[in-house]
Amino acid sequence: MTPTDISNPDTFHKVVDCQWACPAHTPVPEYIRLIAAGRYSDAYMINWHSNVFPGVLGRTCDRPCEPACRRGRVEEEPVAICRLKRVAADNKEDIAARLPPIPAVRNGKRIACVGAGPASLTVARDLAPLGYEVHVFDGEKKGGGFIRSQIPRFRLPESVIDEEVGYITERGGVTTHFGQRVESLRALLDAGYDAVFVGSGAPRGRELDVPGRKEAAANIHIGIDWLSSVSFGHIESIGKRVIVLGGGNTAMDCCRSARRLGGEQVTVVVRSGFEEMKASPWEKEDAMNEGIPILNYLVPKQVLHEGGRLTGMVFEKVKAERDAKGRRQLVPTGEPDVVIEADDVLVAIGQENAFPWIERDLGLEFDRWGLPVLNEATFQSTVPNVFFGGDAAFGPKNIIWAVAHGHEAAVSIDRFCRGLDVGERPPPHVVMSSQKMGIHEWSYDSGVSLDLRFKVPHAEHEVALRDIRTEVELGYDRELAYKEAQRCLNCDVQTVFTTSLCIECDACVDICPVDCITFTENGEEQELRERLRVPALNLEQGLYVQDGLKTGRVMAKDEDVCLHCGMCAERCPTGAWDMQKFFLETAKPYAGRVAACQAQ
C-alpha cells in the first residue's frame, strides 16, 4: 500500500465516524467533551454553527451519527449523541451575544427563500451575516416548516422552535413573509431577487386508494395534514379506535398523537415486515411502550363503512418472497383477511413533492419523478439563480439533511452572487493540534469508560398521555450527561505516526488494548488486511499505513476499533506516536469573513 496521506482532510475525517456520517458534519466529539466539561454554551455554539437547530435536533434528529459511532463496534451501544446535544441546548446560558453579528449595512443582494423550513432558514442564517437581504416566504403564520407543523409537541416543545427559529429571523437581515404562500416562481423572479432558494419541502401526503376510501372520507385523514392540524390546535380529538397506516416516523408521530387525543385502541398497520419499517428503532420502541401494537404484513384491501361512518378496515395477509430475479415481493398467504374495527384511519404511507407553483416554461427542468434537475454538489437548478434544498431537492429525508443542503446552497448562492464559479467548493476549515501536556498527560480525558449507554429519563405514562403538550423525554440531567459524555471515545483525537522517530520497539503494539497496530511487510491492501494482528475485515474503515522504517517494514494501523486512548503514544519512548486533535468544520460562507464567535 502507498503511505496514507494524512494531509487530505478526508483521511482523519473518516476516522471520526459520527462527524463523517452527519450530513452537516457536526464536530461531535468536540461538543461532547465540552458538555463533559460543563461548558454547555460552548457545546451549543459548536452545534449551532454546524447544524443550526441543536435544541430541535437534540430531540428529533434521525441521528445517522449513532449507527456509525465507534462505541457501537467495541461495545453494545453507541454514545447517545443526539440526546447529549439536547443537554447542551437545555443547559446553555444566553448565547445571543455569540451569534455572528448582522451588519447594519446590507451588501445590496436580495435573496428569496421559499418555505420557512430548516433548509430555507439555514440559507438565511448563513447569508444574513454577510449583508444579504434575505426574504423568507411561508404559508404558515410562523417559521419552522415541518419542524413546527409535523413534529408533535410531546417530542418537541414549541418554545424550542421559537427560540431557534428566532436566532435566524429576529436578528435583522432576514425579512419574513409569513402567511404568504408563494404561488408563482415567475412572479418571484420578476421581483428582481438575485437568487431564489426553494426549500418548500415535500408537502403532499400520499393517498390511500382502496374501495370505501371516498365513502368514509370523513374519518380518513392524511397523516401529515392531520399532524399539522393537531400542531396548530385545529384538531383536538380523535375516535377511540384508530388505525394508523404506514411504517415511517410520521406514522409513529400519528399513532402517539392519536393516543393523546382520545385514541384508546390505536393500532399501526404496515404492509411489509416490522424490520423493514422506515421508522427509527427508538421511535418504534417509544410507540410500543405507549401500548400501541404494530401489526405487519397486512395490505389494506377495503375500508368498511356504514351510513357514511367508517367502521373498520379489511387487510390481506401477505408474506415476503423472492421472485426469480431475487427481488423481494409481497405475496398473499391465502389466509383469511384480517378485519380491524376503527373509528378513524390515519394514512401515513409516504410523502410526495409538489411544485404546482413553478411554471413549466421557465426553463427549470424536472426529472420523471417530478423532482427538479439539480447539480448534486451545488444544488443549482437549470435556472442558474434558482437553488433547491431540503425535501424539495431530492425528495423526503429529514431535518439534518435539510440543514446540510442549506449550508451547501448558501455557499453556492454566495459564490453565485459574487460572480464566482459555483462549482468550485471551498475547502473545510481544519486544525490539527497535539494534545500532549506531559509524558503521560493529555489535554483530553483519555480514560475509557466502561459504562453502558444511559437511558434518557421519560415522563410517567399516565402523565405523558394526558396532554399532547407534555414532553415525554425529560432529557439527561447534568450528572447523567457527564457519564454518558464520558462514553465518547474521542475519535477526533487522532493517532499520528512519525516514521523517522520510530525505533520499532513494539511498545505500542504490546500496549494497544484493541490490537490496532501491526509492524509487518508491506503488501496489497486486501492481503495486508488479512495479515494484521487481528485481521481488518471491516472494509469501510481505513488502514493507516506509513513506510520508511529501518527494518523495511510498514506500520499498519486498522482504524476500525481504535479506542483513541492514547496508550500507544504514552508508551512510545520517542514520541513517534502523538495524539492530535482533528477539528474540522465544513465551509460556511460567513466563516472567516465575519468575526465568528466560536468556542475554539
Q: Which amino acid is at 81?
A: I
Residue 468 vs 512, nearer CB to other proteins: 512
Q: For 507-587, where are the E strands, in sequence order?
A: 517-520, 543-546, 554-558, 577-585
Binding of other proteins by 447 (CB under 8 A): yes
Span of 33-41, 389-397, 440-448, 585-593 interacting with other proteins by CB under 8 A:
440-448
Report yes or no: 209 and 215 within 8 Å, Cβ to Cβ. Answer: no
As a whole number of angstroms, the distance between CA 305 and CA 298 comes to: 19
C-alpha torsion angle, residues 491, 497, 502, 506 (rounded to 10): 30
Residue 183 vs 506, nearer CB to other proteins: 506
Binding of other proteins by 548 (CB under 8 A): no
* 3-class DSSP state of 11: helix
Residue 330 vs 549, nearer CB to other proteins: 549
CB of 448 to other proteins, least distance (A): 4
CB of 566 to other proteins, least distance (A): 9
Report DSSP letters for 351-392, one per residue: EE---TTS-TTSS--B-TTSPBP--TTT-B-SSTTEEE-THH
CB of 69 to other proteins, least distance (A): 14
Residue 114 vs 572, nearer CB to other proteins: 572
Residues 563-582 interacting with other proteins (rule: CB under 8 A) = 563, 565, 567, 570-574
Span of 166-174, 186-194, 407-415, 533-541 interacting with other proteins by CB under 8 A:
533-541
CA-based max dimension of the chain: 89
Binding of other proteins by 547 (CB under 8 A): no
CB of 31 to other proteins, least distance (A): 23
Neighbours of 189 (CB within 10 A): 18
Site string for other proteins, 254-293 (x = CB under 8 A): ----------------------------------------
Count each helix (H run) and each strand (E run) in the chain, helices first: 22, 24
CB of 558 to other proteins, least distance (A): 9
> How many chain residues touch other proteins (CB under 8 A)?
36
CB of 548 to other proteins, least distance (A): 15
CB of 36 to other proteins, least distance (A): 16
Binding of other proteins by 1 (CB under 8 A): no
Residues 483-512 interacting with other proteins (rule: CB under 8 A) = 503-507, 509-511
As a whole number of angstroms, the distance between CA 430 and CA 7 comes to: 10
As a whole number of angstroms, the distance between CA 101 and CA 129 comes to: 6
Report yes or no: 59 and 249 within 8 Å, Cβ to Cβ. Answer: no
CB of 432 to other proteins, least distance (A): 23
Residues 75-94 interacting with other proteins (rule: CB under 8 A) = 75
Residue 317 vs 553, nearer CB to other proteins: 553
Binding of other proteins by 67 (CB under 8 A): no
As a whole number of angstroms, the distance between CA 422 and CA 591 comes to: 17
CB of 543 to other proteins, least distance (A): 15
Report DSSP letters for 82-130, one per residue: HHHHHHHHHH----GGGSPPPPSS--S-EEEEES-SHHHHHHHHHHGGG
Binding of other proteins by 514 (CB under 8 A): yes
Binding of other proteins by 73 (CB under 8 A): yes
Residue 575 vs 592, nearer CB to other proteins: 575
Where helices occur in 3-91 by DSSP H, the ranges are: 9-15, 17-21, 28-36, 40-51, 54-60, 65-68, 71-74, 81-91
CB of 567 to other proteins, least distance (A): 6
Where helices occur in 128-248 by DSSP H, the ranges are: 146-149, 158-169, 185-190, 223-231
SS3 of 478-502: HHHHHHHHCCCCCCCEEEEECHHHC
Q: Which of 158, 515, 527, 530 binds other proteins (CB under 8 A)?
A: 515
CB of 538 to other proteins, least distance (A): 9
As a whole number of angstroms, the distance between CA 448 and CA 446 comes to: 6
Q: Which of 1, 11, 41, 74 binds other proteins (CB under 8 A)?
A: 74
In order of 31, 145, 178, 203, 497, the CA distances from 182 in angstroms are 38, 14, 10, 14, 56
* Chain residues that interact with other proteins, rule: CB under 8 A: 73-75, 439-441, 446-448, 450, 503-507, 509-511, 513-516, 534-535, 537, 550-551, 561, 563, 565, 567, 570-574
